[in-house]
Amino acid sequence: KDMEGAQQVAGEFQEIFGKDHFYLEVQANGLDHQRVANTGLIELHKKLDVPLAGTNDCHYLKKEDSRPHDLLLCLQTGKTINEPNRMKFDTDQLYVKSTEELAAAFVEFPGAVANTCRIADRCELELALNKTHLPQYKVPEGYTRESYLEHLALEGLAARLKERPSQTPALAYDLRLREELTIISSMGFAGYFLIVWDIIKFARSRGIPVGPGRGSAAGSLVAYALRITDLDPLVYSLLFERFLNPERISLPDIDMDFCMDRRGEVISYVVDKYGSDHVAQIITFGTMKAKAAIRDVGRVLEMPYADVDRIAKLVPDDLKMTLDKALDQEPKLKELVDTDPKVRELMGIAQSLEGLARHASTHAAGVVISDLPLTEHVPLYKGTNDEIVTQYSMGDVEKIGLVKFDFLGLKTLTMIHHAVTLINQGRAVDSLLHIEGMAFDDPATFALLASGKTTGLFQLESTGMRDLLIGLRPDRFEDIIAIIALYRPGPMDLIPDFIKRKQGKVPIAYETPALEPILKDTYGVIVYQEQVMAITNVVAGFSLGQADILRRAMGKKKPEEMEKLRVKFLEGAKEKKLPEKQAEKLYELIQKFAGYGFNKSHAAAYAVVTYQTAYLKANHPTEFMAALLTSEMGNTDKLVGYLTECREMGIRVLPPDLNESAKTFTVVEAHIRFGLAAIKNVGEGAVESILARRHDGGRFRSFFDLCHRIDLQKVNKRVLEGLIQAGAFDSTGAKRSQLAAVLDRAVEQAVLAQRSASSGQTNIFAAMDPGHGTSSEILPIDESLPDLEEWDQAELLKCERALTGPVSQRSPARHSDS
C-alpha cells in the first residue's frame, strides 16, 4: 500500500546490513494476499537491486496435514469447522517442501532458492551438547570447590553422628563419605552440591520448612552430612550409586521440597545470588491426550455429542494410552473405524493431533541456573506472572548442558510447620516439640496407623492404603517405607504375600543365605530397586554402578543390553560358586521385580513426612487438625471431609466469630475455632482488613460498629452477607434474620460516614476536643433492629453448610433461644 515508505525502509536496511546481507523474502504458498505482497517485493527488487530469497511458511510437516491443521485452528480459536468468517488458511501449501518443489514454485524468481541456500550456509550455530553450564560457586579463600565440599561434609557428618548416634561403625561412615566425595569430585559435581547446600542453608536460616529429601538423593551420605537430606543412608541401606552412578555419566538431580507458602522466597534468593539473567523457570507443554483428541475433534466436526462420547469411552483408561494402542486393544473401536467413514475421519485427524502441544505453562518446580546469561544458551519468554521462563522444556534444557534444580512446594510441610507452631505456643524453651530428627518409635503413632484412621496423613489417605495398613499393622518405620513403595500399580500384587509374611502366616525363605541381609526388612520380598542392585552386587560380583546399569536395562526392557548383562550375571554368579540353576532362577527373579521395584531412597524420605503427620495426629490431634483444616481452606470438598473427621475424633470445632476467630483455624483450649478466611465468599483481603481494625480499635461492639470501622471496598456487601449467614455475628446477640434485614441500611450509613470522614469534615466539638474522633464516629448511627423471628433450623443449617461445612452439626446448642 505504501510503496514509497517500503522503498525507504528497504533502502535503510540495505545500507545498514550491506547488499550481500539483506534480502527480500518471497513465498509461493497459493494465498491471494501473498501474491499481492510478491508483486510489491519484485518491484522493490528491481528498483533497489535487493536479491530475493524464496521460502515457504511452514505450519505443518506434510501436505496431507492441511486438514488436521485446519481443525487445530478451530480448536485454538474456539470455532467449529462450518462456522463462517472463522480464521483459516485457504491453501494446502503450508508444509515443509522439498528442494525440487521449491525450485518449481519459484521458477519465475530465478536465483531465489539459491539465495535461500546461501543464507542457510552463512548461519553458524554450535551447540556444546557435552558441556555442563553450571555456575561457579564462590568458595572461601584457600579452598577449591572440592576441598570446601570435603570440609563441609566431614564437619557436617561429625555433627550428625553426635546428634544421632549410630550403631554402624564410624569407619563405615568415613569410608562411605570419602568414596562419595571421590566420585562427586571426579565427575565435576562438587559445585552442584555446594549450590544445593547453600540454597537449603538459606531456607533453614529463614525458618522456611524444608523436606527430609526426595528421590534418589536421599541415598547420599554427603547430602545427609550437608543437611540437604535428613535420613541416614547407612541406617536404611540406601545406595549412593542409585543417585549418582560413576559408570554412567549423568547430571545429578537433587529435588528440594519447601513450604508451599514460602517457595517463592527461595527462588528470589537464587535470583539475587546468581543474577536475574542467569536464572529462569522451565516451560512445560500440555499435550493433547488420546480421549481429549477424540472429543475435541468431534466437537469441531460438529458430530453429535453422544456419538463422540461413545467413541471416546472405547479408549482404555491408561495414562500412557495412545490412539494406536487403543485400536490394537479395543476391537469395537477398530470395527467402527473400518466401517464408518465419519468415525474414520474423526480418528485419523485425532491421531494427527494427538501428542501436539496444546498449551504452554511454567513447570511447577523446575529452575535452571546458568554459568553465562541464559540468552547465551536458550531462548526465553515471560510467563503469565511475568516470570522468566526457558522456551526449552525439561529434557531439552538438560540436553544442552543446563542444570535444573527442582524447587517443589509441598503443602504438607506447611501444614506440619503450622501444627508444630500451634503445639509450641506457650511452651517453655526446654519443652518445645522438634519434629525434625525425632525417633521413629512412638507406640501411639503405630497404633494410629494400624487402625487405618489415616485421614489427613501424607500418602496414606486413600481407601486402599487404609485397607493395607489395617491388614499389615505396621510397627516399624521400615514397614512405612515398604507401604509407600508397594502401593502402586505392579508391586500392588505383592501386598497379600507381603502381609502374610509379616504376620508369620507364610514362612520367609531366601534363595541363598546371602540374600537375607538384603531382604530381611521386607520379609524376603523384593520391593526396592536398591535391593535388585544389592543382590546383583552380592550374588554376581557387579559393582553397584554396574548393578544400576543392569537395573535400568531391565526396567527399559532393552533386549540386546539385557542379554549381555544376563551372561555377565551368570558368569559372575558362577565365580561366586552359585549353582547355575539357582543363578538362572535368581536372574529371572530380579528381572521380574526390576520393572516395578520402587526407589527406596524416595520412599524412605517420604516415609519421614508420613510418620511426622501420623505422630502429630496421634499425639496432638487438635493442633494437627487445626493445621490440616487451614491447609485446605480453599478446597471446600476437603474442608468438609476434615470437619467431619474432627467430629468423629471428638474434637469440637467452634463456629466463626468476628471477635474470636483468626484468619486461619486456631486452637482454643481443647477445641478448634473456625477461621474467618475459610468461610466461602470471604476472601483473605477482607479478613485481613477486619483483623487489622480489630487489632487497632479493639473488639467490635456490634454489626453496625464493624461496618463503620472496616474498609468497605475490601469488605463488601457479599462478604458481610456471608459472615452473617455463617454465624460470625451470633455472639453480638443479634439474630441472623435481623442482620440480613438491616444489611443495606448498615452499609449505606457506613459509606456516608466514611465519605464524610475522608472529606476532612469534623464536628465543631470534635475540633475543640482531641478526645473526639471524626464525624464518622460522631454522626448518629441507627442501630435499631427489626422485631423478626430467627430463620428456622433448616435455613440456618442450609446457610452454614453452604459457607462453613458441617460445623453446625457439632454445636446444635448455638441455635437455641437460650
- What the block records as the C-alpha cell of 68 is 488436521
Count of beta carbons in the 10 Å neighbourhood of residue 324: 11
How far apart are alpha carbons 370 and 368 in whole angstroms?
Answer: 6
How far apart are alpha carbons 651 and 643 in whole angstroms?
Answer: 9
Q: Which residues pair with residue 668 across a beta bridge?
A: 671
Domain coordinates of the chain in residue numbers? 1-56+97-124, 145-284+362-411, 291-354, 620-815
* Percent of the chain as helix, strand, coil, to the nearest 5: 55, 10, 35
In this structure, the dihedral spanned by the alpha carbons of residues 62, 67, 71 and 72, taken in order and rounded to 10 degrees, is 10
What is each CA distance from 254 to 79, 195, 297, in whole angstroms? 44, 11, 41
Q: Which residues pair with residue 283 across a beta bridge?
A: 362, 393
Reduced 3-state DSSP string for 184-249: HHHCCCHHHHHHHHHHHHHHHHCCCCECCCCHHHHHCHHHHHCCCCCCCCCCCCCCHHHCCCCCCC
How far apart are alpha carbons 139 and 423 in whole angstroms?
Answer: 40
Contact yes or no for 249/187 (Cβ under 8 A): yes
Instruction: Return the CA Rg of the chain.
Output: 34
Handedness of CA 27, 29, 30, 31 (dihedral sign): negative
Helices 559-575, 580-594: inter-axial angle, 10-degree rounding:
140
Q: Give the single-character DSSP code of 598.
A: B
- What the block records as the C-alpha cell of 161 is 553422628
pLDDT of residue 84: 87
How far apart are alpha carbons 108 and 26 in whole angstroms?
Answer: 11
pLDDT of residue 800: 84
How far apart are alpha carbons 741 and 16 in whole angstroms?
Answer: 75
pLDDT of residue 811: 43
pLDDT along the chain (818 residues), means of 10: 89 92 94 93 93 94 93 92 91 94 90 94 82 91 97 98 93 97 95 97 96 95 97 96 87 91 94 95 92 94 94 88 91 93 94 89 91 94 91 91 91 96 92 92 97 96 95 97 92 93 93 93 94 93 91 80 88 92 90 83 96 98 98 88 94 94 95 94 92 94 93 92 94 94 92 77 41 47 88 88 66 40
Count of beta carbons in the 10 Å neighbourhood of residue 453: 20
In this structure, the dihedral spanned by the alpha carbons of residues 133, 139, 143 and 144, taken in order and rounded to 10 degrees, is 0
Does residue 317 come out as left (phi exceeding 0), alpha (psi in the -120 to 50 range) or beta? beta
> Residues of 640-671 as b/e, b for ≥16 C-beta within 10 angstroms?
bbbbebbeeeebbbbbbbbebbebbbbbeeeb
Tally of helices (H runs) and strands (E runs) in the chain: 36, 11
How far apart are alpha carbons 582 and 520 in whole angstroms?
Answer: 20
Instruction: From 34, 72, 70, select the one nearest 54 (Cα to Cα).
Output: 34
3-state class (DSSP) for residue 554: helix
How far apart are alpha carbons 203 and 200 in whole angstroms?
Answer: 5
The one-letter code for the residue type at 573 is A
pLDDT of residue 764: 35
With a CB cutoff of 8 Å and minimum separation 6, the contacts of 715 are 686, 689, 690
How far apart are alpha carbons 88 and 86 in whole angstroms?
Answer: 6
In what order do the strands lie in the sheet containing 380-382?
255-259, 403-410, 357-369, 279-287, 388-393, 380-382
What is each CA distance from 733 to 675, 785, 807, in whole angstroms? 20, 11, 20
How far apart are alpha carbons 425 and 431 in whole angstroms?
Answer: 11
Residue length of the chain: 818
The CATH number of 291-354 is 1.10.10.1600
Q: Give the single-character DSSP code of 511.
A: S
H or E stretch at 547 = helix 544-556
Reduced 3-state DSSP string for 778-814: HCCCCCCCCCCCCCCHHHHHHHHHHHHCCCHHHCHHH
How far apart are alpha carbons 382 and 272 in whole angstroms?
Answer: 18
